[in-house]
Chain A
């Protein structure tokens, strides 16, 4: 770490973590000194996704109250379902009115970069203090064209393998494999014992996109190159589709219709032995399925033939609209919420559901408190942005929202298309989007 030592971080965060445990606000608020002159009479509206885990909302609110106490700026939080954020923030961008700050997903800021406040000062401060942002975080916040930060990266609700340990052992595996070949062998052995795996192939924004992109990139395939030229129809993509088809054969029937909630339901009902998901399955089992809970384990998503992680996770960043009357207050709010005394209790409270965008927070004690939480610490390492290897923006967002890659995998796995045909169809659709 450059500007902050591990010991200092632990000291700073311990107080916050204790505060979270005690259900009180962070102690940092008392000593907080704003970096920018906050506008007189400022108040803010934040549009935020409803937490995937209840402790997330609770601690975020406590941190916000601490900000109000430290600065006098009142913040109203509007919670909406995470899939509705894009529509609501888009509407605000269009009409020039609405929340001051939005916590969005993926490359949303790049759909209307001109409407957003330059937050370079906040990001530069944070990356200097907390050991920098992960590469994927930077790609979701830093606009290469203008060389400015248009959003403050917050973090990613990461996806890892969640599996039943006893069933995996019965199938002859002591731990979950670390590469694609091993995962397929394990999945086949589990299926043979009547314990199929389950991965979403319907229009599941988070879960389907996560695993299919990981497999695509794991074989070296990508939808476009660095110049946004469509290159999906490649030998690497065909290999990825062949692999996915083999994996699909080991899955429970019906994953072709799965949306984001289905794999959680099937896992907790004991119908599948493994899936790729956020820590929510483990967390919910801890609270509501005490018999199943001791048997649930998590592991990093295996690595493909390219030899390094190729994760694709949901990612949230926060941006400020230019129509806000209080841009300095908004910037201060985002800075405050990303400081260690706030981040520590937030991440601790939600047992690492969101992996922070700043690298220094990989040293938070929560990550090593339980071996099932640890894999989520590193989900942003080797995480590519949507539209990889092209630049973020409207074309990448459209391709993601049209489920081009998910449909290509579903086409080859569940609807009988050959890998070549599925890739060709995806290529045609991508060309329509990128050449428009």
Chain B
């Protein structure tokens, strides 16, 4: 054993080793260095396409052509385009209805699954299935369930004597619009439920117990304790889910392609139709970019709603 005790470096001690090691020891070097790959990916995969999209929307770009700047011409044209107006309407309707239903039913499901009962773990796992199934597969399965000739739902209702002919779920304007909202809701509820479940488990049990001792009922506990504490989770869940719903493409394209008429046309399907199939890149980009202000408005509304709740 050595008789010299180890000496810990004092506050004035300089880092030893190569210049590289010394540089890595400095937070103002290491921090940006670690963030660089993620920043680069964001720049390449998000910022660049966004800027390119904005530029294309201000040009007369066509597939394979050389774009020329045309200012706001594409946006002015969209303003007069009745198909675009139909897409705007249904995008809003689809998103607001889907999000409202997903939020309330997801919260209900989470409250239900937050209780300990026999097989609750299995129930939680099953609940996730609609969320993890690939969208196209879900759409195909729903396509059969809502098929005007082979619908299992119609068949069951017929057997129960509740209807006299198969329901035309996707061939009529409002049934088609509502059907797609129901499917989107079915897919999205597990996401909300899982998020809320995590939020619920984070609420200290002592708070609930204290309220119970004070004589608060279930509704009061939910209104005064549970919901306010879930608001931060709600903001996150709602923001992400809204973005996914507004940009939903696969479900609608697989099931209706925007039909019947243009009743289920949304931003993404119309942008694809115009830019890729029709070759009008500029107009397609304008449709896609026009979503951004709407998304911002939705985000502000969501944030304000949750803040006001506080």
Chain A interface residues (CB < 8 Å from chain B): 86-87, 90-91, 93-94, 111-112, 114-115, 201-203, 252-259, 262, 265-266, 269, 271, 394, 397-398, 401-403, 407, 410-411, 414-415, 425, 428-429, 432, 436
Query: Cβ of B137 < 8 Å from any Cβ of A?
Result: no
**A-B contacts, 27 listed (Cβ < 8 Å):** A87-B272, A94-B64, A112-B63, A253-B166, A253-B171, A254-B147, A254-B166, A256-B168, A257-B169, A257-B170, A257-B171, A257-B176, A258-B148, A262-B147, A394-B62, A394-B279, A398-B280, A402-B83, A402-B274, A403-B257, A407-B259, A410-B259, A414-B171, A415-B260, A415-B261, A432-B81, A436-B77
Total count of chain B residues near the partner, CB < 8 A: 39
Given A202-B259, A203-B256, the answer on whether A87 and B149 have CB atoms closer than 8 Å is no
Give which listed residue, B149, B168, B176, contacts A271 with CB less than 8 A.
Answer: B149
Question: Residue B150 at the A interface, CB < 8 A?
Answer: yes
B82, A401: Cβ atoms closer than 8 Å:
no
Taking A410-B260, A414-B260, A432-B81 as contacts, is the C-beta distance between A86 and B166 under 8 angstroms? no
The complex places the Cα of A265 from the Cα of B147 at a distance, in Å, of 11
Complexed CA–CA distance, A184 and B227 (Å): 62
Contact of A407 among B147, B171, B176, B261 (CB under 8 A): B261
Interface contact tally, CB-CB below 8 A: 132
Cβ-defined contact, A269 with B149, below 8 A = yes
A265: which B residues are within 8 A, CB to CB?
A: 147, 149-150
CB within 8 A of B278: which of A201, A252, A401? A401
Q: Are B64 and A114 in contact, CB atoms less than 8 angstroms apart?
A: yes
> Is the CB–CB distance between B64 and A202 below 8 Å?
no
Taking CB atoms, residues of chain A closer than 8 Å to B62 are 111-112, 394
For A253, give its contact among B64, B165, B256, B260 (CB under 8 Å). Answer: B165
Across the interface, B168 reaches (CB within 8 A) one of A111, A203, A253, A401, namely A253
B84 CB to closest chain A CB (Å) equals: 9
**Given contacts A254-B168, A410-B259, A398 and B274 within 8 Å (CB-CB):** yes
Which residues between 140 and 165 of chain B lie within 8 Å of chain A, taking CB atoms? 147-150, 165
Query: Which chain B residue lies CB-closest to A404?
Result: B83
Q: Say yes or no: is B300 at the interface (Cβ < 8 Å to chain A).
A: no
* Bound-complex Cα distance A394 to B274 (A): 10
B277 touches A (CB below 8 Å): yes
Q: Could you tell me the dominant secondary structure of chain B's interface residues?
A: loop
Measured between beta carbons, the chain B residues less than 8 angstroms from A407 are: 259, 261-262
B238, CB-defined interface residue at 8 Å: no
Interface centre among A202, A258, A259, A397 (most CB of B within 10 A): A202
Q: Across the interface, do B149 and A112 meet the contact criterion of CB distance under 8 Å?
A: no
In whole angstroms, what is the CA distance A202 to B149 when docked? 14
Instruction: Kindly list chain A residues whose C-beta atoms are within 8 Å of the C-beta of B172.
Output: 256, 414-415
The 7 A-B residue pairs whose C-beta atoms are closest, nearest first, are: A254-B148, A256-B171, A112-B64, A257-B171, A93-B64, A257-B170, A203-B257
Q: B182 to chain A: closest CB distance in Å?
A: 15
Q: In the complex, what residue of chain A is closest to B263 when comparing beta carbons?
A: A415
Bitwise interface map of B from 44 to 74 toward A, beta carbon under 8 Å scored 1, else 0 = 0000000000000000001111000000000
Contacts of A428 in B (CB 8 A): 82
Is A86 within 8 A of B173, CB to CB? no
Q: Is there an interface contact between A429 and B261, defined as CB atoms closer than 8 Å?
A: no
- State in angstroms the CA–CA spacing of A262 and B171 once bound together: 12
List chain B residues, Cβ under 8 A from A269: 149-150
Q: Are A202 and B273 in contact (CB under 8 A)?
A: no
Minimum C-beta distance from A404 to chain B (A): 9
- Closest chain-B Cβ to A157's Cβ sits at a distance in Å of 18
Q: Determine which of A91, A252, A271, A401 lies in contact with B273 in the assembled complex, contact meaning CB atoms within 8 Å.
A: A401
Expressed in whole angstroms, the minimum distance between the Cβ of B146 and any Cβ of chain A is 8
Q: Which residues of A contact B42 (CB under 8 A)?
A: none
Residues in A whose Cβ lies below 8 Å from that of B165? 253
Residue numbers in A under 8 Å from B148 (CB-CB): 252-255, 257-258, 262
Structural contact, A432 and B82, CB atoms closer than 8 A: yes
| A202 and B80 contact, CB distance less than 8 A | no
Q: Which residue of A lies closest to B262 (CB)?
A: A407
B258 CB–A CB distance under 8 Å? yes
Check A402 against B260 for contact (C-beta < 8 Å). Answer: no
Partner of A86, one of B65, B256, B276: B276
Query: Which residue of B83, B169, B256, B276 contacts A429 across the interface (Cβ within 8 Å)?
Result: B83
Smallest Cβ distance from B286 to chain A, in angstroms? Answer: 12
Are A402's CB and B273's CB within 8 A? yes
- In whole angstroms, what is the CA distance A111 to B166 when docked? 42
The smallest beta-carbon distance between A141 and chain B, in angstroms, is 17
Q: What's the nearest-Cβ distance from chain A to residue B260, in Å?
A: 5
- CB-contact partner of A111 in B150, B262, B279, under 8 A: B279
Question: Is B194 in contact with chain A by the CB < 8 A criterion?
Answer: no
- B289 contacts chain A at the CB level, 8 A cutoff: no
Interface centre among B165, B272, B276 (most CB of A within 10 A): B276
- Provide the residues of chain B in CB contact with A432, threshold 8 Å: 77, 80-83
B253 CB to nearest A CB, Å = 10
What separation, in Å, do the CA atoms of A328 and B209 have in the docked complex? 82
The residue in chain B whose Cβ has the minimal distance to the Cβ of A254 is B148
Across the interface, which residues of A come within 8 angstroms of B251, CB to CB? none
Contact: B278 with A203, CB < 8 Å? no
Set B81, B83, B278: member contacting A394, Cβ < 8 A: B278
Q: Are A256 and B276 in contact (CB under 8 A)?
A: no
B171 touches which of A114, A254, A266, A436 (Cβ 8 Å): A254
Q: Chain B's nearest CB lies how many Å from the CB of A274?
A: 15
Q: Least Cβ distance of A319 to chain B in Å?
A: 12
- B281 part of interface (Cβ distance < 8 Å): yes
Indicate if the CB atoms of B277 and A203 lie closer than 8 Å: no
| CA gap between A425 and B81 in the complex, in Å | 12
Known contacts A410-B261, A415-B261, A432-B81; decide if A394 and B280 are in contact (CB<8 Å). yes
A93's partner among B63, B81, B150, B173 (CB-CB below 8 A) is B63
Q: Which of A111, A257, A401 contacts B256 (CB 8 A)?
A: A257
Interface contacts beyond A254-B149, A258-B171, A425-B82: sample of 10 additional A-B pairs, CB < 8 Å, sorted by A? A90-B63, A112-B65, A202-B257, A257-B168, A262-B147, A265-B149, A403-B257, A410-B260, A410-B261, A415-B260
Query: Is there contact, CB below 8 Å, between A256 and B150?
Result: no
